[in-house]
Structure formats: C-alpha cells, structure tokens
Amino acid sequence: MAWLKRVWRALVRAVRWLLRNTRNRLSPRGQLVFDWIAGLLLIALGAITGPVPFVQGWVFGLAGLAILSNHSRTARRLFERIKWAGRQARERYRERSDREQ
C-alpha cells in the first residue's frame, strides 16, 4: 500500500501544479476550455467511481458541477437544485435529532 500512497501524492502534486501554473497563464478562451475539460473529467470520474464502495463518487461529480456552473446555465441549475436538496436533508436531520433529545 505504500506505493499507492506515493502514486496518490505524486498525482495530487501534479494536479496542484497544473492548477496553479497552467490556468493563470491561459487566455480567457483557454481558461474556458480548461474549466470545461476539468469539469467533464470530474463528472465522468464521479460516474465511474460511484458504484465503487470505498470511493465517494458523488464528491467528484459535485466538484465537476461546481466548475461547470460558472459556464453553463444547465449545470448551474442542477448544482443549485442539489445544494437545495442537501440543505433540506440537513434541516430534516436536525429537526429529527432535536426531537429525539
């Protein structure tokens, strides 16, 4: 498992470097393309890893939607709907836990 940690750390370092150095140097059109590619890749990663038990695929999907929501009206609506549903679920959980106490 040590090799997996090393690979993961190298991947994280590479992504951080790309985000820090590449996006800021791009033209506005290049930033748009970069955002679309990153958003779609994260959504695809979330869809692929969704059925895997130990990987939370929805986190990747939400990150992709958050990136795309700056550029797409449909992604923004879907992201806002998901945030609303999360807030509603949180409120129901809080009400239920308050009643039990």
User: Domain locations in the chain?
Assistant: 2-100
C-beta neighbour count of 67 within 10 angstroms: 22
8 A C-beta contact, residue 46 and residue 56? no
Stretch 88-95: mean pLDDT, rounded?
88
Phi, psi of 65 (to 5 degrees): -65, -35
- The mean pLDDT value of the chain amounts to 82
Provide the sign of the torsion angle of the four alpha carbons 79, 84, 88, 93, taken in this order: positive
Distance CA 39, CA 62 (A): 9
Please write the tens of the pLDDT for every residue from 10-58: 777 877 777 677 656 777 888 888 889 988 998 898 888 888 777 788 8
pLDDT of residue 70 exceeding 80? yes
8 A C-beta contact, residue 62 and residue 85? no
Using pLDDT thresholds of 50, 70 and 90, give the confidence band for residue 95: confident
pLDDT of residue 2 exceeding 70? yes
